[in-house]
Homo-oligomer: A and B are copies of this chain.
Amino acid sequence: MKASNYSINTLKEMPADADIISHQLMIRGGLIRKVASGIYNWLPIGLRVLQKIEHIIRQEMNTAGGLEVTMPVVQPAELWQESGRWAQYDEGMLLKFIDRHQREFCLGPTHEEIITDLAKTELNSHRQLPINFYQIQTKFRDETRPRFGVLRAREFIMKDAYSFHIDQESLEHTYRVMHDTYARILDKMQLTFRAVDADTGNIGGSASMEFHVLADSGEDKIAFSTESKYAANIEMAEALSPPNEVTEIEPIQEIATPNARTIEEVSSYLETPTNRLIKTLIVKGRDTPFVALALRGDHQLNPLKAERIGIVSQPLTMATEEEVLSVCGASIGSIGIVSLNLPVIADRSAAAMRNFICGANKNGYHLTNVNWERDTQYTNVYDLRDVAEGDPSPDGLGKIKFTRGIEVGHIFQLGQKYSKKMNAKVLDAKGISRVMTMGCYGMGVSRLVGAVIEQHHDEKGILWPTIIAPFHIVIIPINAHKSDRVNQVTQEVYAQLIANDIEALLDDREGYRPGVKFMDSELLGIPYRLVISERGLEHNIVEITSRKSGDTRSLPVARATEKIIELVKESLNQ
Q: Which residues of B contact A142 (CB under 8 A)?
A: 99-100
User: Which one of A36, A44, A107 has the highest number of Cβ atoms from chain B below 10 Å of its Cβ?
Assistant: A36
Cβ-defined contact, A114 with B41, below 8 A:
yes
Q: Measured between alpha carbons, how far is A514 from B122 in the docked complex, in Å?
A: 21
- Pick from B65, B105, B154: contact of A5, CB below 8 A: B65
Q: Measured between alpha carbons, how far is A75 from B34 in the docked complex, in Å?
A: 11
Q: Who on chain B is nearest to A66 by CB?
A: B44
Q: Measured between alpha carbons, how far is A39 from B103 in the docked complex, in Å?
A: 13
**Beyond the given A41-B69, A44-B68, could you list 4 further A-B residue pairs with CB under 8 A, ordered by the A residue number?**
A35-B76, A41-B71, A43-B122, A100-B144
Cβ-defined contact, A73 with B35, below 8 A:
no
Check A121 for interface membership: any CB of B closer than 8 A.
yes
Check A40 for interface membership: any CB of B closer than 8 A.
yes
Q: A47-B68, A127-B511 are in contact. Are A75 and B5 (CB under 8 A)?
A: no
Cβ-defined contact, A47 with B72, below 8 A:
no
Q: Which residues of B contact A70 (CB under 8 A)?
A: 41-42, 47, 50
Q: Which residues of B contact A511 (CB under 8 A)?
A: 127
Smallest beta-carbon distance A208→chain B, Å: 25
Cβ-defined contact, A140 with B36, below 8 A:
no
Cβ-defined contact, A47 with B73, below 8 A:
no
Q: Who on chain B is nearest to A511 by CB?
A: B127
Tell me if A's interface is mostly helix, strand, loop or mixed: mixed
Contact with B along A132-146 (1 / 0, CB 8 A): 010001101010100
Q: Please report the total number of A residues contacting B with Cβ < 8 Å.
A: 56
Cβ-defined contact, A118 with B33, below 8 A:
yes
Q: Which residues of B contact A519 (CB under 8 A)?
A: none
* 24 A/B residue pairs, CB under 8 Å, sorted by A: A7-B128, A30-B122, A33-B122, A35-B71, A35-B76, A35-B117, A36-B103, A36-B105, A39-B76, A41-B70, A41-B114, A42-B70, A44-B67, A44-B68, A44-B69, A47-B68, A50-B70, A73-B107, A73-B138, A73-B140, A95-B97, A95-B99, A96-B97, A100-B144
- Pick from B65, B92, B122, B510: contact of A100, CB below 8 A: B92
Q: Measured between alpha carbons, how far is A44 from B58 in the docked complex, in Å?
A: 13
Smallest beta-carbon distance A29→chain B, Å: 13
Q: Who on chain B is nearest to A154 by CB?
A: B74
Q: Who on chain B is nearest to A142 by CB?
A: B100
Q: Which 6 A-B pairs have the closest CB atoms?
A: A97-B97, A42-B70, A36-B76, A44-B67, A39-B72, A100-B142
Q: Which residues of B contact A9 (CB under 8 A)?
A: 122
Q: Measured between alpha carbons, how far is A7 from B121 in the docked complex, in Å?
A: 12
Check A131 for interface membership: any CB of B closer than 8 A.
yes
Check A155 for interface membership: any CB of B closer than 8 A.
yes
Cβ-defined contact, B122 with A74, below 8 A:
no
Smallest beta-carbon distance A5→chain B, Å: 6
Q: Measured between alpha carbons, how far is A69 from B72 in the docked complex, in Å?
A: 21
Q: Measured between alpha carbons, how far is A128 from B43 in the docked complex, in Å?
A: 15
Considering only residues 86-132 of chain A, those with a C-beta below 8 Å from chain B are 92, 95-97, 99-101, 103, 105, 107, 114, 117-118, 121-122, 127-128, 131
Q: Measured between alpha carbons, how far is A73 from B141 in the docked complex, in Å?
A: 13
Q: Which residues of B contact A122 (CB under 8 A)?
A: 7, 9, 30, 33, 43
Q: Which residues of B contact A155 (CB under 8 A)?
A: 72-74
